[in-house]
Structures are given as structure tokens and as C-alpha cells.
Amino acid sequence: MAETGKAAPRRRMMDLRKQPGFDQIAWICMFFLYAPILVLITFSFNDNRSVVLWTEFSLRWYESALANDEIRRATMISLQVALVATVFATTFATMAALATTRVPPFKGQTLVYAIINQPLMIPEIVTAVSTLAFFSLIKQLTGVTGIGYLMLAHTVFCIPFAYMPIRARLEDMNLVMETAATDLYATPWQVFRRVTLPLMMPGIVAGGMLAFVVSLDDVIITLLVAGPGETTLPIFVLGQIRRGITPEINAVSTLLLGLSVLFVALFFILGRKRK
């Protein structure tokens, strides 16, 4: 009979890395995931106009892309929409994170989380179609048009992406410093401005960068909501691909990829510093 004072032996967790064929499957998945990207980057430096026949290293397609007026205009529209969406999405996400983490648990809290994260749970095409129908109704009733609709659609879609790191930062923060500031007769605004906001700033910056990348790379919502003359860079690339892939498109895609990777890397660096 086992001694009552001894604890029962812990059940060993299954280590998937030690399962037969795990390494091979992982390498196969990595190959098919990243090989097309490496091919795109490689042939963006190809001097030949062909995207499958390598001749010599050249930057001519990057120079051509940077000198293309249509690409520069699409880039400016993308940056304009992404920056506006990032500012407003991050602001609303910060307010939502404070409202859901700095209060005692309340009835319907799960429903609030579901509403905030709705764009993550519903397929993007459904969100795009419903947004298009809603904005079409508003345009018909008011007669107001413009790029503001696209900015609003991106803002709403980016809120949950900014909300997640901000909420995670607030949940990791200890209330001791905020309580101490209150005990020292600081007003709620002073506590927020001098204590809470500086401590949660890494989460806000990380959420803003994530929202910027999501807005900059979005295709489905932009394709349905954007009006005439509101062609963003991803939509421009998609339109050019329909006519055939060229090294110039490879160069644009590589630049867009590099920008996205840079922001994602900064996001993870801030996350590690936060921890």
C-alpha cells in the first residue's frame, strides 16, 4: 500500500518533438511556407525581366518601382489610411482595455470581450460585405463620400489587434503603484498620466504597430470598401498580378514584406522587454 504522505507521481506530458516524423514534418511545412517568399525576394534582384530565368544581380526593378508614380501614390494612400486607423484603433483599444481590466468582474464581461474581438472571430469577407452594405446605406442617405469610410473600416477592424497586447500589459501590471499614488492624494487623472500610462506604454506601442501592419497589408476589406481613386498598395499589387507577375511587382512585394517584418520584429522585442 502506498504511503499516504507521498504525493501521487505526476503524469508525464507527451513531448511532440520526440514523436516519430515530427522533425521531418516541421521542415516540410517550413519549406512550403517560406520557399515561395525566398523565391520572390531572390528574383526581385534579377536583372532579367523574366521572373523564372536568373541572369545577374541588379537593383533596376527597385529603382523602377520607386520612380513609378502609380506605386508612389498607392503607397501614400496606404500609409495615410494605416496611420489614421492606427491612431484611432489604438486609442479606442486603450480605452477598452482600461474599461475591462481596471474594474471588478461584472455580469456580461465575456460578452464584452466577444464584441471587442468580433473581427477576429468572424471571417473577414463577412465583415467586408456587411461593412460595404452599411456604408452604401449611409452614402445613399447622406450623399457623403470619401476616403473616410475606408479609414473607419480599417479602424474598426484593427481595434482587436491593438486591444490584445494592451490588455495583456494591463493584466501583468501590479496595482501597488497606482494604489500608492492614490494614497498620496493624487487625482484619478494624475494617477493615469503619471503612473498607469507610462507603465502601459510598451503595450500601447506594440498594439499600435500590430494595428499598423494589419491595416497596411489588408486586402479584402479594402477591395470592397475603397472607392474610386483610393487604391492602396496591396490592391495595386493585386491588380498588377492579374496582368502577369513582373520583377517590379516582386520588388514592391519585397519592400512591403520588409516593412511588415520590421514592425512585427519590433512588436516581439517590446513584448520581451515587457516580460
Percent share of the chain, pLDDT over 90: 25
* pLDDT over 90 at 64, yes or no: no
**Sign of the CA dihedral 167, 171, 173, 179?**
positive
Residue 243 has φ and ψ, to the nearest 5°, of -90, -5
Which pLDDT value is given to residue 103?
77
Share of the chain above pLDDT 70, in %: 91
- Which of 120, 124, 128 is CA-nearest to residue 93? 120
> Does residue 9 carry a pLDDT above 70?
no
What is the pLDDT, as a whole number, of residue 43? 84
CA angle 106, 111, 117 (to 5 degrees): 125
pLDDT at position 169 is 87
Query: Do the beta carbons of residue 217 and residue 142 sit within 8 Å?
Result: no
Q: What is the pLDDT of residues 217-261, one digit of tens each?
A: 899 999 999 888 888 988 988 888 877 777 888 888 888 888 878
Phi-psi region of 21 (alpha: psi -120 to 50; beta: other; left: phi over 0): left
Identify the CATH assignment for 69-274 out of 1.10.1200.10, 3.40.190.80, 1.10.3720.10, 1.10.357.10: 1.10.3720.10
How far the first Cα of the chain sits from its last, in Å, is 46
Q: Which of 93, 114, 115 is nearest to 168 (CA)?
A: 93
What is the per-residue pLDDT across 162-184, written as a single tens digit (0 to 9) for each?
A: 999 899 888 888 778 888 888 88
CATH 1.10.3720.10 in the chain is located at 69-274
Q: How many CB atoms lie within 10 A of CB 225?
A: 24
